[in-house]
Amino acid sequence: MFLSFLRQPLLHFFVIGAGLFTLYSFVDDTPAQTSNRPSIIVSIQDAQWLVSQYESMRNRLPSEEELQVLVDAFIRQEIYVREALLLGLDQGDSIVRKRLSQKMEFLTEAGAEASLVDDAMLKVYFEENLERYRSVPRVAFSQILLPEPATGSISEILTDLDAGEDFQMLGAKTLLPAFVSPVTEQVVDGSFGQGVFQQIAELEPGIWSGPVKSGFGNHLVRLDSLVPGIVPDFESLRDGIEQEWRRDKAVELRLERLEELRSQYDIETPNLSLALSQ
């Protein structure tokens, strides 16, 4: 009966199968299957970035122990960020949303730094934006604050001036400067009142004229010099022009990219009047 059992086909099948399984286990070089646990890999580039950050703040390289602390902090931050994202903690957070939006803008604007530009392109840009590079005009003037009523005191003061009197000794007492060196419209209007610069710029140079009205009253004014705004030549501004070209290019790329992305969404907005009425 035992011999009969040995001749059973089913026994032969199991023996052959066991042999093949044993042989395969010896020759199979497939690596053992790893778990599905997520990985955090700190690359050499990450470590070098941590070193550069430390050096920029401390003006020296970190020790190996200090670098290990930085790496541990990097790993801790990565764990917390991943777990926070899994929990949806980024949702509805205005600070996170703003930061992500800024990163998208920076990513888009980076293309402007990589854009190739030559002098011909910059000269066209320069010609299209001449007023941006024009220097602001300046005036230098002397002034006498008129006693009230101004119309009655003008002729008397002009007579004194013709007689050679010192203009700084004439007129009403004031803390305003009698002589103002070349200054811009912003300075003049900031000191004397809105519109005074334009009044002075329109006077005939070298002649006492008035009254010029300011926030302090009426003045006799002598325009001593008028320096008009000028546009410097391209070569003297070339580097600054390129910087401004790249800045404007970055804005252009950002707006184009936004429109491209916006076109990929169906956007619905509420009735704004209704929102304001709540």
**Residue ranges per domain, the chain?**
46-111, 135-227
Confidence of residue 90 (pLDDT cuts 50, 70, 90): confident
Please give the pLDDT value at position 7.
Answer: 57
* DSSP string over 51-68: HHHHHHHHSSPPPHHHHH
Q: Is 195 exposed, middle or buried (0-12, 13-18, 19+ CB in 10 A)?
A: middle
Q: Rounded CA gap, 216 and 198, in Å?
A: 16
Please give the pLDDT value at position 139.
Answer: 95
Please give the pLDDT value at position 31.
Answer: 54
**Better-predicted residue by pLDDT, 270 or 171:** 171
Confidence of residue 25 (pLDDT cuts 50, 70, 90): low
Give mean pLDDT, residues 34-38: 73
Confidence of residue 11 (pLDDT cuts 50, 70, 90): very low
Q: What is the pTM of this model?
A: 0.53
| pLDDT tens string 130-179 | 888 988 999 999 999 988 876 778 888 888 888 888 999 888 888 899 99
In a 13 Å sphere around the CA of 21, the CA atoms on its Cβ side amount to 6
pLDDT at 19 over 80: no
Q: What CATH number is given for 135-227 in this structure?
A: 3.10.50.40
